[in-house]
Amino acid sequence: LSFATRSKSVTTMAASQEFTGNLKHEVEKLFAESLRLTVPDGTSVDTEVAASLPGKPGDYQCNNAMGLWSLIKGKGTQFRGPPAVGQAISKNLPASEMVETCSVAGPGFVNLVLSSKWMAKSIEKMLVEGIDTWAPTLPVKRAVVDFSSPNIAKEMHVGHLRSTIIGDTLARMLEFSKVEVLRRNHVGDWGTQFGMLIEYLFEKFPDTESVTETAIGDLQSFYKQSKTKFDNDTDFKEKAQKAVVRLQGGDPIYRKAWAKICEISRTEFAKVYQRLKVELEEKGESFYNPYIANVIGELDSKGLIEESEGARVIFLEGFNIPLMVVKSDGGFNYASTDLTALWYRLNEEKAEWIVYVTDVGQQQHFNMFFKAARKAGWLPESDKTYPRVDHVGFGLVLGDDGKRFRTRSSDVVRLVDLLDEAKTRSKTALIERGKDKEWTAEELDQTAEAVGYGAVKYADLKNNRLTNYTFNFDQMLSDKGNTAVYLLYAHARICSIIRKSGKDIDELKKTEKLALDHPEERALGLHLLRFAETVEEACSNLLPNVLCHYLYDLSERYTSFYSIHQVIGSKEEASRLLLCEATAVVMRKCFHLLGITPVYKI
């Protein structure tokens, strides 16, 4: 083993280092190269690079010295301790225009200070070439996001709203990262409940062909009525059970009735999606039905399926109950459908990453069928290797009383009403501020919508999704604190500064330079440059709240800058306007990724 600090032979690397938008990766690349030169041959270490905490001497730090020391000490190394290892890492750092200084502190932390010039240049470049040049790159080409997924004829509840909001954001982040996303609405359209619904439909509307949505009215109460009848009337119950068999056997009359019921539900769901501007492609449970028998057959031929109490099940290590895949009456269930959908997504749709967004209550179901799929050899053993599956669980929505969220009037919350209330409330607040006199009716309505729906989305997304969150209109629609309203206003304020300057910002981008000479300008600039690594983190860990925190921090950094430095009329006006524009561009991208419509006027 040779422990020598090799001399720098990598000056060429610096020249070829083109900024890919992900600052952390760029810094990692530099340190990886330095470690390659510092570490003895044959010792492999992962680069440990982290953004430095505010107030610390550097912008990024490399924390490898201590670990490396414990690997090499006593093995004839020339180094005297971790600080010396740190010195070597620092000395071996390839020359790069990115770096201002590199120094060692304490027990060997290597602190890197970025060059403000380089930072400014990178931001200028983004302004000219567009924010998409800061998109992260992920190791997958195609992903499925399975989200929203309400059940036909049953209520679409706040849990489905959370799934819709979180799933849409994850899809948007993946799409921004150049992943092709199949946005799948896995609606519950194929269960035993359809027997009862169809039979009830036949009874109430003998002329099923001409029955309209308005005639059936509220599908949820229709469902409740048919359920009551099913529970109390044995004749009806029998008919309903036969109806399931006829439906699943493909009887055209039953299929038609089924389609009608699905259609009515679909129009109801669409009202929610249209308000939230969420796009989804429905591939419900019924879609996979024709494939189930084959998939179960495949699992059977692999010896995975056993007989248990008349049912067919898969026993899985680490679970005290088996996964049922064929019920004792021979019918298929939620798990058989999910296994089949997974098979389809992997083999027919060639998805490399499949993400499921539901409440944490379903975690066991997902863990079990994921495990079964690994056993079948469909997925690699390691859950971080592709093709990969992830269950994105989320907590409950609570009311102010700390219990499951409900409205006062009934025990269900109609999502459409809930969203409409958010919009109405935000419109009222705008009118109180006299905006109805300043703006056209259309502007007022659009702003109320952006703010109202944005508030609902942001209140959900800003929390770690696993925790329960309290639904409170006053809080989410407040213009203070970490809310969509505050952030949308912050963005609008920046836009109004740019407008008031009277300058053509596109012209400035071409002709003027950006400088980050003052600490607040530099801190804001650094935060802007951390956008890509933040999206990548939020995306890889499937945590939208990471992006929300970033956005909130961004507006705080902007405030610190703007409250100290004059923009319009200062000698740095052009540079500062560019910094304002870059902030607005990044904020808008964050809004876009969170599914929030930005506003430009307040």
Single out the segment in contact with ligand ARG by CB under 6 A; choices: 84-92, 149-157, 254-262, 476-484.
Answer: 149-157
Q: How far is the CB of 41 from ligand ARG (least distance, A)?
A: 49
By CB under 6 A, which span of 65-73, 142-150, 414-422, 583-591 interacts with ligand ARG? 142-150
> Does 146 participate in binding ligand ARG (rule CB under 6 A)?
yes
Is the CB of residue 135 less than 8 Å from the CB of residue 86? no
Smaller CB separation from ligand ARG, 109 or 356: 356
> Binding of ligand ARG at residue 265 (CB under 6 A)?
no
- Closer by beta carbon to ligand ARG, 121 or else 142: 142
- Crossing angle of helices 441-461 and 573-594, in 10° steps, is 70
Return the DSSP state at 40: P
Question: Helices in 149-218 by DSSP H: which ranges?
Answer: 158-176, 193-204, 213-216
Among 111, 151, 192, 226, binds ligand ARG (CB under 6 A): 151
Nearer to ligand ARG, 149 or 483 (CB): 149
188 touching ligand ARG, by CB under 6 A? yes
- Residue 62's SS3 state is strand
CB of 273 to ligand ARG, least distance (A): 15
Fill in the per-residue mask, 291 to 330: x = in contact with ligand ARG (CB under 6 A), - = not in contact.
----------------------------------------
CA distances from 393 to 355, 443, 460 (A): 10, 37, 13
Looking at the DSSP bridge assignments, the partners of residue 470 are 398
Range list of β-strands (E), 176-277: 180-185
SS3 565: coil
d(CA 421, CA 446): 15
Q: Establish if 164 lies at the interface with ligand ARG (CB under 6 A).
A: no
The dihedrals phi and psi of 208, each to the nearest 5 degrees, come to -60, -35
DSSP three-state, residue 6: coil
In the complex with ligand ARG, which residue's Cβ is closer, 356 or 471?
Answer: 356
Task: Kindly state the smallest distance separating residue 147's Cβ from ligand ARG, in Å.
Answer: 8
Out of 22, 77, 111, 149, which residue is the one contacting ligand ARG (CB under 6 A)?
149
CA distance linking residue 162 with residue 333, whole number of Å:
24
Output the DSSP codes for 523-560. Answer: HHHHHHHTHHHHHHHHHHTT-HHHHHHHHHHHHHHHHH
Instruction: Report which residue's Cβ sits closest to ligand ARG.
Output: 149
Question: Is residue 501 a contact point for ligand ARG (CB under 6 A)?
Answer: no
Question: Is the Cβ of residue 82 or residue 188 nearer to ligand ARG in the bound state?
Answer: 188
State in angstroms the smallest separation of the CB of 213 from ligand ARG: 22
The reply to whether 338 sits near ligand ARG by the rule CB under 6 A is yes
52 alpha-carbon distance from chain centroid: 25
Per-position x/- string for 88-127, each x denoting binding to ligand ARG as judged by CB under 6 A, each - no binding: ----------------------------------------
Window of 145-153, 296-304, 307-315, 373-381 that interacts with ligand ARG by CB under 6 A: 145-153
Question: Of 119 and 152, which has the nearer Cβ to ligand ARG?
Answer: 152
Which of 122, 164, 265, 358 lies at the binding interface for ligand ARG (CB under 6 A)? 358
In whole angstroms, the minimum distance from the beta carbon of 271 to ligand ARG comes to 18
Piece in contact with ligand ARG (CB under 6 A), picked from 129-137, 144-152, 203-211, 555-563: 144-152
Q: Are 134 and 531 within 8 A, CB to CB? A: yes
287 binds ligand ARG (CB under 6 A): no
Query: How do strand 305-308 and strand 311-314 relate by DSSP bridges?
Result: antiparallel
Q: At closest approach, how far in Å is the CB of 591 from ligand ARG?
A: 27
- Is 336 an interacting residue with respect to ligand ARG (CB under 6 A)? no
Q: Contact at 8 Å (CB) between 137 and 116?
A: no
Contact at 8 Å (CB) between 248 and 259? no
Cα–Cα distance for residue pair 121/29, rounded to 1 Å:
20
Residues in the interface with ligand ARG (CB under 6 A) total 10
First to last CA, the chain: 66
> Which residues are within 8 A (CB) of 130 and not within 5 positions of it... i.e. 6 or more apart?
none
Between CA 27 and CA 109 the distance in angstroms is 15
**Count of C-beta atoms within a 10 Å radius of residue 45:** 14
Query: Site residues (CB under 6 A) for ligand ARG?
Result: 146, 149-151, 186, 188, 338, 341, 356, 358
